Structure 1
């Protein structure tokens, strides 16, 4: 058995494998990085909440200075969150794909999910521009179907990311969790694992 991936090592592996869409990623690597994301995003969310509350307080008390401070805090938090999300977009998808590989699945579903996400974001922007009040039934149906698709595919992704590693060497490489002791030995057309 190979050594376990720790909290700090998961962060190093995340940035080291920035654009690595090949190979496998252990479950601990994936979930420790999810915890790191939470740690990095919480300050932005706290700043967002403080800015929102400050702006609402300033508006309700007719204090333009307080409202402006709240607006500046909102702007700073949005910039921080946007930069962080853009910086981690590619390595997050790379790690998700490697996690799928670790469970013996292909990268097709994460790429389909990314395609759906991009297309529906564009579609939602068009709908919000043309029908901001959602007066047309077609706009409402498209929005509901989009969110249902996000939920279904998101839950499926979470379930796959919770599954244990495939014990044997698969087409994406040897198991990092169970070590290299299970190597395929070819006997004719069938592979037998030792």
Structure 2
């Protein structure tokens, strides 16, 4: 079941080939369970009737619904891909995927069609899981990488979570990314001043700069996570170790933002100072661990015996 769910993500951009029923349903089961769990957590925290730190639980509920929304968006393409492959495996036209547009009834009908066994007309030489070699190209960096090569691999591995990225390549890209981010932030800050000088009011220049910044962030979220995953693997972390470190740091950052905004909208005095301090401390520890891992040499974090968090030395 776990392997099927991993393939659900690995084949996110593969609309060719076929997916058998025995592979489709375990992956879909885990997918639906995660959605249900997030919704239940949201309902639990938002209806929790307690006088002890109520805003904290409210922020936690908001955090869960944010995670739910993010997961829906991120998993949409993998869901479409696996459904198209399952329809093809059952000898149905892939265009039936548009049943998802029919509110409530369409997705249920589509799930019913995915219960149909594999077609006897299957082409023997067509693999069950035919991964797209363009989007799942492995980046393997073991030798010295130049700046131009690092940028080229960054875009070539836009959707690639497999392979390895060297420390040199990773930091080349990070310095470039943060440089562009700082430049865009500066332009967003300066744009209103130029608008006032030119037009006497905040005009389209400010909106355009904000739009460019948002597009830059949205366009680089996935390749940044892919690059970090490859870098952590190169340093010696296991898949589970990389997943824990990345999801924990990202989740804590998001929750800290949500909690800060929630507290800023209500006068609470110093009641939540300890909570904010502990959250800040925990977040700092996780981010330091992430930075140390990204600064590590190739295979430096490998251990003599394989563990959950670290890979074994060769």
TM-score normalized by the length of structure 1: 0.67
The answer to whether the 8 Å contact 2:248/2:286 transfers is no
Query: Could you say which residue in structure 1 is the equivalent of 2:299?
Result: 166
Query: Is residue 233 of structure 2 the alignment partner of residue 101 of structure 1?
Result: yes
Question: For the residues of structure 1 that align with 2:295 and 2:257, how far apart are their CA atoms?
Answer: 27
Q: CA RMSD in A?
A: 3.3
Shift of 1:114: 1.8
The range that moved more, 135-144 or 75-84, is 135-144
Of the candidates 248, 252, 255, which is equivalent to residue 119 of structure 1?
Answer: 255
Query: Is residue 297 of structure 2 the alignment partner of residue 157 of structure 1?
Result: no
Shift of 1:31: 0.5
Question: For the residues of structure 2 that align with 1:102 and 1:84, how far apart are their CA atoms?
Answer: 26
Shift of 1:17: 1.7
Of the candidates 145, 149, 162, which is equivalent to residue 5 of structure 1?
Answer: 145
Please list every run of 5 or more consecutive structure 1 residues that lacks an aligned counterpart in the other structure.
172-190
Question: For the residues of structure 2 that align with 1:2 and 1:145, how far apart are their CA atoms?
Answer: 39
Query: Is residue 161 of structure 2 the alignment partner of residue 28 of structure 1?
Result: no
Question: For the residues of structure 2 that align with 1:138 and 1:15, how far apart are their CA atoms?
Answer: 47
The answer to whether the 8 Å contact 2:165/2:227 transfers is yes
Question: For the residues of structure 2 that align with 1:17 and 1:116, how far apart are their CA atoms?
Answer: 26
Shift of 1:164: 0.9
The answer to whether the 8 Å contact 1:47/1:77 transfers is yes
Question: For the residues of structure 1 that align with 2:286 and 2:200, how far apart are their CA atoms?
Answer: 42
Question: For the residues of structure 1 that align with 2:165 and 2:235, how far apart are their CA atoms?
Answer: 9
Deviation readout 1:108-149 (Å, 9 max, x if unpaired)? 2122112222333333333333x2xx5432344444433333
Shift of 1:25: 1.3
TM-score normalized by the length of structure 2: 0.44
Question: For the residues of structure 2 that align with 1:17 and 1:64, how far apart are their CA atoms?
Answer: 42
Of the candidates 257, 265, 269, which is equivalent to residue 136 of structure 1?
Answer: 269
Query: Could you say which residue in structure 2 is the equivalent of 1:185?
Result: none
The aligned runs of 1:48-59 (5 Å cut-off) are 48-54=188-194, 58=196
Higher relative contact order (CA 8 A, sep 6+): 1
Deviation readout 1:78-100 (Å, 9 max, x if unpaired)? 22111111111121122112211
Please list every run of 5 or more consecutive structure 2 residues that lacks an aligned counterpart in the other structure.
1-140, 307-311
Query: Could you say which residue in structure 1 is the equivalent of 2:200?
Result: 66
**Residues matched between the structures, number:** 163
Query: Could you say which residue in structure 2 is the equivalent of 1:43?
Result: 183
Query: Is residue 159 of structure 2 the alignment partner of residue 19 of structure 1?
Result: yes
Relative distance call for 1:121 and 1:192 in structure 2 (3 A) is: closer
Secondary structure of 1:77's counterpart equals helix
